[in-house]
Amino acid sequence: MRASLARRAASAAKRKTLRIETANNATMDNRVMTKTLPISFEFFPPKTPEGAAKLRATRAALYAHKPEFCSVTFGAGGSTQEGTFAAVKEILAEGVPAASHFSCVGATKAAVREQLAQLQAMGVKRLVALRGDLPSGYGMGGEFHYASDLVAFIRAETGDAFHIEVAAYPEIHPQAKSAEADLQAFATKVKAGANSAITQYFFNTDAYFRFVDDAYKLGVEVPVVPGIMPITSSTQLMRFSDACGAEIPRWIRLRLQGFGDDTASIKAFGLDIITDLCDQLHSAGVPGIHFYTMNQADACSEIIQRLRLA
Q: CA dist 230 to 17, 271, 292, 295, Å?
A: 20, 7, 7, 11
Amino acid, res. 188: T
CB 278 within 8 A of CB 271: no
42 is catalytic: yes
- Asked if 234 and 262 touch (Cβ cutoff 8 Å), the reply is no
202: exposed, middle or buried (Cβ count in 10 Å: 0-12, 13-18, 19+): buried
d(Cα 184, Cα 203) in Å, to the nearest integer?
Answer: 23
End-to-end CA distance of the chain: 23
At 84, the amino acid letter reads T
CA–CA gap between residue 197 and residue 189 (Å, rounded): 10
167: left (phi over 0), alpha (psi -120 to 50) or beta: beta
From 42, 165, 171, 302, active-site residue: 42
What are the beta bridge partners of residue 21? 27
Q: Which residues are catalytic?
A: 42
